[in-house]
Every structure is written in structure tokens, then in C-alpha cells.
Amino acid sequence: MKRPSILLILLSVFLLGSEALAQRPRPTADLPKWEGVCETPQMGWSSWNKFMTDINEDIIKENADALVSLGLADVGYVYVNVDDGWHGERDENGFVTENPEKFPSGMKELGAYIHSKGLKFGIYSDAGDFTCNGCTGSRGHEYQDALIYAMWEVDYLKYDWCHTANLDAKGAYTLMRNAIRKAGRPMVFSICEWGTSKPWEWAADVGHSWRTTHDIGPAFLPVPVSYTAQGRRNWKPQSVMEIIEQNAPLREYAGPGHWNDPDMLEIGNVITVDGITYSMTPSEERAHFTMWCMMAAPLILGNDLRDISEETLAILKNRELIAVDQDPLGIQGLRLRKEGDLQYWFKPLVDGDWAFCILNAGEKPVKVALDWSALEVDDSLSGRKTDFAGTTYIGRDLWNSKARPISTARKNVKVTVPSHDVAVYRLTPVKH
């Protein structure tokens, strides 16, 4: 009988070995995101909306000081996020450094200062070769950057999406998530790719929040034309009302540890371009803040805290609305219906309570006669129902603590909602 050649024996061994390797479970590089760091929407301050890239360590430290001295940290605003414009060059080993003129003490020392105030330290980077304003991006250096952030004791990373040609969003953000986990320091991971790849459909296991819209501006209604602001050409910011329309249908994707992010707060900000000033009235700012709380959105301040009015501060420190945003159920509010310029919203809260809001986007105040039978809610997402027919709820006005409470037992309760404003109540069932 003819014996098999040595070549055939070696080939057989190779094929058998290859088959065994193919059947063996293969290691995966996927690492879980950090859990337990963002069970309610994140709250803090960011340098971007007011300062864009015109930042330095004094501006950051002074705004961190203000978070504490103004009592904002006491109500939950604890992250101090250094946005685009802090980067220097990479060193000879490829590690990113800070801009030495803007941050002469270094980012590690800045983080230590922020931590000494009882606050948390946030930083910014981009998945592309460059950040949106041309600084050093993280592409190709993800693990190095995550490691240096961990060494700087960073608590929060906002990760942008400029200059990302030929990159897949889910892959790029997953890569940075893995790098953060490998670096060993828990961080909130804020995905900022403006909703272009529908991150709400894939990002719950990747990040802790994801932008659902393009950049916001200090405008309640749509801005009619693009404008140039602080070096940004042909930028048409989105208004509060535009963003609400985009974010409202996405409530099923939000929950503890994974939030829809309709962008930062513009309360207290003013932009003047070509002689035109863009800002919001106090009523518009109340509506902006209220709707972000109703939508369980991150509350990231974007104004200069060193120059803030008492009226703006009172809006930002409204503890009862913050409690609506930070409610541990973590359910984004439901827009029950629209009637012309009016929108009716409900948000399930702990202990059987509800937040109830009427938003008036119109140019005139509206007097509303509430028909509770037409406002019953059967929310399949939360499994919660109202029972206005059988249960009396007492409604506390969340903007006017001295206002007389409303009762669902009263027929034809009348509420006046000013133009570009809200009426918002916490409805609590009466226990018999």
C-alpha cells in the first residue's frame, strides 16, 4: 500500500489545526462602558457655548469657582468641561499635550484644582484627525488619549465628529469606549456626532449620552439665516423649538445610563453678529429649561457664570424642575398632543407623581381651560397611567411656589400660558 507523503501529512495536520482554531472561541476586543456613572442625566458647565475656542485656565477655574459660590454645585451642576481649544501638539511618543500658552499649569493641575472644589473634570476630543476647530484629534491615538486622560484624572469625555472621512461612527465610538475602559478610570462618555448616524439606535452600550441634533444657539424660534460667529462661517444654529421637534420622538431610547442629548443650555447667553443680537427672553429661557427637564436631557450650562443675572441664576437653580430632570425613573417626557401653538407634555415620576407641562410656542398668551378627561395618559413605555376620573391629583406650580395649587377634581381649571413660555406642575395623587 502506498504511504502518504510527508507533504500530505503536514497538510492534514495544518487543516485539522485550522479547523480546531476556527471552532475555538475567539477573544474579543469589546469592553463594556463604565456603568453607574450616569444613572441620571449629567449636570455641569461647558466652555463651548460662550467662549468657543477662546479659553484658558483662568476662565475655566473662575467658572468652576462660580459653580460653587453661586450654589449651582449644591443643586447638581458638578462637571466642569473644557471643550475645543485646549489641545497642544503631540509629544515625541504620540501623547497629546495641552496648549502651553492657554494652560501653562497643565491639564493635570487644572483637574486637581477642579477636584479640590468638589467638582468633576471634563475634557473634549474628536474622533477625526482634527477637532472641529483644527486642533489635534484622536484618530489613531485613541488608546494613548484615553490613557493620558486617566492619568489626568478626567471624569468626562465629550467626543466630537469633525474631520472623520471614511470612518464609521459606531466603530469609532466603540473604539474609544474600549480605550476608556482599558485605561481603567471611570468616565462619562458623551457622544457628539449630531444624530447623523442615528446613535439612539446603537449607542446605549457605547456611551452615556448621544447628541440628537446639530448645535443649539441662543434662539427660541428658528434662525432665518446662517451667520458667522467667533470664526464659524455659515453656521445656522438650531433653535429650542426645532430641537424639541427632533428630540421628542426619541423617548423610547433614553433611560438610566443612556440619554438623548439635545445639546447644551443657552440660558444667559447673548451673541451679536453683524449688528444683530441673538438671545432669549426670560420667558423663553424658562421654557428652554423646563423642556430640557421634561425630556430628561443632560443639563450642561453654557453661559459665563462670572457675569450672571439673578433672574438667570434663579432659572438654573430651580430645584423642583431639576428634580423632574433627575427623577430616578429616568423616563423621557411624553408629548401627549399638540393644538396649534400649544403642546401638552407629561413625564412619569417616582411615587406615582407626574410632571405636567403646557408649552406655548405662539406670539400671544393663551388661557387654557383644562379638561382632565381629555388628558388621560396611558404610557406603554413606562407602563404608567393617569386616573383623573378616579383619583384627585394636586398640582404644584413649579415656577411660582406661591401660586395656588390646581386640582384635577375641579372642572374647567383655567391656566394662562404666556407667549413663548410654559405652565408646569408636579401632579401628586391625594392619598385617602
What average pLDDT does range 395-423 have in this prediction?
A: 94
Distance CA 59, CA 305 (A): 10
What average pLDDT does range 76-102 have in this prediction?
A: 98
Q: Does this model's pTM top 0.85?
A: yes
Say what the pLDDT of residue 13 is.
Answer: 40
Say what the pLDDT of residue 4 is.
Answer: 46
Residue 7 has pLDDT above 60, yes or no: no
160 as an active site residue: the answer is: yes
Q: Is 378 exposed, middle or buried (0-12, 13-18, 19+ CB in 10 A)?
A: exposed
Distance CA 281, CA 219 (A): 9
What average pLDDT does range 156-166 have in this prediction?
A: 98
Per-residue pLDDT tens digits for 310-336:
999 999 999 999 999 999 999 999 999
What average pLDDT does range 166-182 have in this prediction?
A: 98
Lowest average pLDDT, out of 95-109, 161-175, 292-306, 406-420, goes to 406-420
Residue with the larger pLDDT of the pair 5 and 426: 426
Strands 299-301 and 43-46: parallel
What average pLDDT does range 264-269 have in this prediction?
A: 98
Helix, strand, or coil (residue 241):
helix
215 as an active site residue: the answer is: yes
Say what the pLDDT of residue 405 is.
Answer: 95
| Sequence-ordered list of residues with C-beta below 8 angstroms from that of 188, at least 6 positions apart, any chain | 34, 37, 38, 42, 79, 122, 155, 156, 157, 208, 209
Residue 432 has pLDDT above 60, yes or no: no
Q: Are 354 and 377 a contacting pair, CB within 8 Å?
A: yes
What percent of the chain has a predicted confidence (pLDDT) above 70?
91
What average pLDDT does range 204-231 have in this prediction?
A: 86
Q: Are 342 and 417 a contacting pair, CB within 8 Å?
A: yes
Lowest average pLDDT, out of 153-167, 219-233, 249-263, goes to 219-233
Per-residue pLDDT tens digits for 90-129:
999 999 999 999 999 999 999 999 999 999 999 999 999 9
Say what the pLDDT of residue 325 is.
Answer: 99
What average pLDDT does range 36-59 have in this prediction?
A: 97
Nearest to 204 by CA among 255, 153, 276, 142: 255
Of these residues, 84, 155, 160, 327, which one is catalytic? 160
Per-residue pLDDT tens digits for 281-314:
999 999 999 999 999 999 999 999 999 999 999 9
Say what the pLDDT of residue 411 is.
Answer: 79
Per-residue pLDDT tens digits for 9-36:
343 444 444 444 445 555 557 899 999 9
Residue 423 has pLDDT above 80, yes or no: yes
Neighbours of 319 (CB within 10 A): 11
Sequence letter at residue 282 = P
Say what the pLDDT of residue 408 is.
Answer: 95
Full DSSP string of 122-170 = EEEEESSSB-TTSSB--TT-HHHHHHHHHHTT--EEEEE-SS-TT--HH
Residue 1 has pLDDT above 70, yes or no: no
Distance CA 277, CA 255 (A): 37
What average pLDDT does range 363-378 have in this prediction?
A: 96
Say what the pLDDT of residue 370 is.
Answer: 95
Cell reading at 305 = 457664570
Dihedral sign, Cα of residue 201, residue 202, residue 204, residue 207: negative
Sequence letter at residue 85 = G
Cell 485605561 found at: 183
Say what the pLDDT of residue 229 is.
Answer: 56
When the pLDDT of each residue in the chain is averaged and rounded to a whole number, the result is 92
Domains of the chain: 43-325 (3.20.20.70), 334-429 (2.60.40.1180)
Of these residues, 215, 261, 379, 421, which one is catalytic? 215
